[in-house]
Amino acid sequence: MTDMSPTLKIALIGNPNSGKSTVFNQMTGLRQRTGNFPGVTVEVKEGLLKFPSGHEATLYDFPGTYSLYPTSSDEKVVASVLTNPADPYFPDALVYVADVTKLEKHLLLFTQLLDLNIPLLFALNMSDSATDLGIKVNASKLSESFGVPVVSISGRTGHNTMRLILDLEKMVNRPPVSGNRTPFYPLTESEKQVSEAIRQNLGIENPYRALLLAHHGPWLHFLKPTEKETVLAIVSTKNFQSLRAQVDETLERYDRFIPISQAAVVSPPAFPNTPTDRIDAVLTHRLGGPLIFFGVMMLIFQAIFDWSVYPMDWIENGFALVSEFLTVQMPEAWYTELLTDGILAGLGGILVFVPQIAILFLLITILEEVGYMARVVFMFDKTMRRFGMNGRSMVSLISGSACAVPAIMSSRTIGNWQERLITVMVTPFISCSARIPVYLVLIGLAVPAIKLGGVLNLQSLVFGAMYVLGVLAAFASGWAMKRWLHRREHSFLAIELPVYRIPHWRNVVLNVWEKVKAFIVGAGKIILIVSIALWGLSRFGPGNAMDQADQTAQTEAQQLSLDTVETEGLVQQRRLEASWAGQAGKFMEPAIRPLGYDWKIGIALLTSFAAREVFTGTLAVLYNMGGSEADINDRSENAAKATLRERMKSEKFGDTGKPVYTLATALSLLVFYALSMQCFSTLAVVRRETGSWKWAALQFTFMSVAAYLGAWAVYVLFS
Amino acid sequence: MQRRYRTITDLKINESARAISFDDSELACKLTSMGLLPGTRIEMIRKSPFGSAYYVKADGVRLALREEEAASILLEV
Ligand SMILES: Nc1nc2c(ncn2[C@@H]2O[C@H](COP(=O)(O)OP(=O)(O)OP(=O)(O)O)[C@@H](O)[C@H]2O)c(=O)[nH]1
């Protein structure tokens, strides 16, 4: 889209929860995509806006902010783009979206934008709610007072969307008014001096923009070093008190616009006890609130498991069929294997998680749209802060149980850098959907299916324990990082608790699609590459080792008089043992022996770097299963799994002759998988979000050490 | 020790009072931009389950505030 993007740029700006994204979806439909503001990891949604005249524009959905004096990286983007006309995202015109039922609170940012002198259209959103509440707004009066076009719209019902688009086109086609209009907020004497000095030195026309540079000079990235020095020098010689001035300006603006809004809005007296108050009395109750939250979480996880079984089976079976078909139809050669065992296996490994991820994000998005997530942030802020995080981290941690990649990306709303960093660092400890197949096979192998006290299934109990282990590890490392980093920086909770609303289906669908896309594009690419690389490592070996393996296998097969299927399996097994991956497994055996693993498990540990569930598939090959990988990774009990377990049980250490798979080894492997950072995609996202490999490397190291030590402790304890 | 001002943390459940000023300018900047101004009537709705956060209504707008944030808002006596 970028190459062909129309040159006319329009930005939607508004407070959080003003309904900006809803309006954006309404205006662009499905013609949208998500990008990143360059240099900062803040999302910008970009869509194609078609005017009825046939002209087009690019519409941007900026992050929600309360003012041009930002406190989080999300909000900083708005101030940074709007103060820099050279920015690629700098809009030609603005649409300001306000929640008309709270007009007064939404006028602050609006009047700041007025003073920037960018063509501005005022969209009074949520007109449907206003009607329901009996609120009447005189749009033409507002238009007259502020000197901008005003349209009353509803992002939910689509009311007046066309009118908004038409008025927008009319506005951008109007020739620009020359010269500065009278500012809404007249600068004070000291502000004027600073602004004037900056205007002269940096050649800026708009006085308010110059003032914003004085406020934000220390962190604005687009200023050249010399410009930054000039600004800082002006600020200090004029002894300009930035924070003080910000507060005073805000209060002065309120004093100026409150009479205007009072004259234009008629609202009936507010009800003292609205449905939202009654719902919150239950949902944020001191005791009931947390209990309900854990109940909701249990229901969500139950739903993920129950609903995803069928689509996951379809995907697995579908890939197995295609792979079989290609194996039969194509010549027997390395490129066929590359296609089926490398590329298709990789793709299958990516797509099989889509159902779970989609279902989880569907439910999380609904909770968010309804307004419940803000309550979760409120209830757990204190708890999370003990562990170096912030109430908002809850959303990331919960999402982490689907996939760490979109979960880490959702940490962007956390304003405090340290709290955000800790959230990013510990989220991968939460057991994600890729760990489930590994857990299931290992638990089936090692844990007897007995009921405790006639109700609790021991296997389910261990399964649950793996999740708890992940959560504990996340919190423990959060706690440790907080002690270690120990940075003092202002951290805010101050969050608005929106009224409860019925979710809007279009928002939900688009949001889920965006998250799934983030997984497929963000994680998928890397899984695919690693999966192809690992295919190469297990397909080829040093020197003529592979040919020798072939011959040994053939001789062995003849001696044992195996049938063709069994022979084929044996060949595969010997080849994998001789391959580069096999060599690596043998090489690392001494290192993993203390955990109770032999070199075959070592190979599986290596190959599961593509995606954790590859672990079971590799074992299937190593134990000469010949059966399809899909059967092994299938969540239901089946013959293939039973056979794999049989084979695993009879496996012995080469030197001591002791069985490899004891309860201790299986538990040790479980702990290893729960704690280890075996996912390149996550590391790549961590690097992007933190801006350096340093944190990704640190995360990899500490998670690996934790996994190793944990697995070792468990092995020693149980053997 | 006798304090000259009360803050939001001193409000009982369902009690309300007007805000007069702030004693932290960074918080003041954040809170005023969210619509919590001197003169705003603040009603205490409830405390968070694990303490240290407050659910308040500021002129009808529901806000969640941390202990320090709440303590920085001085109320009329
Ligand atoms: N009744 C009604 N609800 C709306 C309307 N527009 C948006 N909403 C709802 O308001 C809530 C917030 O909407 P969003 O579009 O997510 O708001 P936003 O401004 O993008 O919020 P941020 O992403 O926090 O910046 C959602 O639950 C929407 O369904 C509207 O016109 N009428």
pLDDT tens-digit readout, A256-315: 999 999 999 998 887 777 889 999 999 999 999 999 999 998 888 788 777 877 888 888
What is the spatial distance between Cα A183 and Cα A187, in angstroms, rounded to a whole number? 9
Chain A's closest residue to B61, CA to CA, is: A496
Q: What is the mean pLDDT of each run of 10 residues along chain A (719 residues)?
A: 68 93 87 59 80 92 92 86 93 96 94 94 95 92 94 93 94 72 91 95 93 93 92 93 93 95 88 86 92 90 79 84 85 81 77 83 88 91 89 86 81 79 93 82 77 77 90 94 78 85 88 82 75 80 81 80 74 81 86 85 79 70 52 53 68 72 85 86 82 89 92 90
Helix (H) or strand (E) holding A209: helix A207-216
> Do the domain assignments include residue B29?
yes
Domain residue ranges of chain A, discontinuous segments joined by +: 9-173, 271-430, 525-660+679-704
B25 vs A279 pLDDT, higher one: A279
List the CATH number of the domain containing B28.
Answer: 2.30.30.90
Q: Residues A182, A187, A192, CA angle at the centre, nearest 5°? A: 110
B2 vs chain A: nearest CA distance in angstroms? 28
Predicted local confidence at residue A37, as pLDDT: 53
Predicted local confidence at residue B26, as pLDDT: 86
User: In the numeric block, which tokens belong to residue A512?
Assistant: 């889920």
> Do the domain assignments include residue B1?
no
Order across the sheet with B16-22: list the strands: A495-496, B61-66, B53-58, B41-47, B16-22, B73-75, B6-7
Atom of ligand 1 minimally distant from the CA of A25:
15
Q: Is ligand 1 within 6 A of the CB of residue A340?
A: no
Task: Decide if A379 and B38 are in contact by the 8 Å CB cutoff.
Answer: no
User: Which amino acid, A571?
Assistant: V
Contacts of A380 in chain B (CB under 8 A): 50
Distances (CA, A) of A567 to A330, A331, A552: 21, 20, 11
Helix (H) or strand (E) holding A11: strand A9-14
Number of domains in chain B: 1
> Do the domain assignments include residue B55?
yes
> Do the domain assignments include residue B71?
yes
Predicted local confidence at residue A621, as pLDDT: 66
pLDDT tens-digit readout, A594-609: 888 888 888 888 877 7
Predicted local confidence at residue A178, as pLDDT: 57
pLDDT tens-digit readout, A220-255: 989 999 999 999 999 999 999 999 999 999 999 999
A430 vs chain B: nearest CA distance in angstroms? 23
Atom of ligand 1 minimally distant from the CA of A14:
19
Distances (CA, A) of A562 to A196, A411, A644: 91, 56, 19
Asked if A294 is an interface residue toward chain B (Cβ–Cβ < 8 A), one would say: no
Q: How far apart are the first and last CA of chain B?
A: 16
User: Which amino acid, A86?
Assistant: A
Q: How far apart are the first and last CA of chain A?
A: 59
What is the spatial distance between Cα A696 and Cα A427, in angstroms, rounded to a whole number? 12
Chain B's closest residue to A374, CA to CA, is: B64
- Taking only Cα atoms into account, the Rg of chain B, rounded to an integer number of angstroms, comes to 11
Predicted local confidence at residue A1, as pLDDT: 41
Predicted local confidence at residue A713, as pLDDT: 94
Predicted local confidence at residue A629, as pLDDT: 45
Q: Which CATH superfamily is domain A9-173 in?
A: P-loop containing nucleotide triphosphate hydrolases (3.40.50.300)
Query: Which of B8, B16, B30 is the mutation pick for testing A, counting most A CBs within 10 A?
Result: B30
Q: Residues A102, A103, A109, CA angle at the centre, nearest 5°? A: 115
Predicted local confidence at residue A640, as pLDDT: 63
User: Which amino acid, A211?
Assistant: L
Q: Is the pLDDT of residue B43 over 80?
A: yes
What is the span of the domain harbouring residue B13? 6-75
Within 8 A by CB and 6+ apart from A397, the residues are A407, A423, A426, A427, A430, A471, A474
> Do the domain assignments include residue B58?
yes
Under DSSP, is residue B65 helix (H, G, I), strand (E, B) or coil? strand
Q: Is ligand 1 within 6 A of the CB of residue A133?
A: no
| Beta-bridge partners for B66 | B53
* Residue located via tokens 């022979």: A567
Q: Is ligand 1 within 6 A of the CB of residue A160?
A: no
Contacts of A495 in chain B (CB under 8 A): 63-64
Asked if A386 is an interface residue toward chain B (Cβ–Cβ < 8 A), one would say: no
Contacts of A377 in chain B (CB under 8 A): 64
- Which protein residue has the closest C-alpha to ligand 1 atom 27? A369
Predicted local confidence at residue B3, as pLDDT: 56
pLDDT tens-digit readout, A302-339: 887 778 778 888 888 888 888 888 888 888 778 887 88
Q: How far is the CA of A369 from the centre of ligand 1 (A)?
A: 8
Asked if A384 is an interface residue toward chain B (Cβ–Cβ < 8 A), one would say: no
Query: Pick from A12, A124, A15, A382: which is nearest to B47 by CA?
Result: A382
Q: Is ligand 1 within 6 A of the CB of residue A124?
A: no
Under DSSP, is residue A43 helix (H, G, I), strand (E, B) or coil? strand
Of A102, A247, A382, the CB nearest to B29: A247
Atom of ligand 1 minimally distant from the CA of A153:
31
Q: Is ligand 1 within 6 A of the CB of residue A21?
A: yes
What is the spatial distance between Cα A336 and Cα A341, in angstroms, rounded to a whole number? 8
pLDDT tens-digit readout, B45-69: 999 888 789 999 998 889 999 988 8
* Cβ atoms A110, A96 nearer than 8 A: yes
Count of other CB atoms within 10 angstroms of residue A416: 20
Predicted local confidence at residue A392, as pLDDT: 82
Q: How far is the CA of A87 from the centre of ligand 1 (A)?
A: 27
Contacts of B55 in chain A (CB under 8 A): 280, 284, 378, 497
What is the spatial distance between Cα A674 and Cα A667, in angstroms, rounded to a whole number? 11
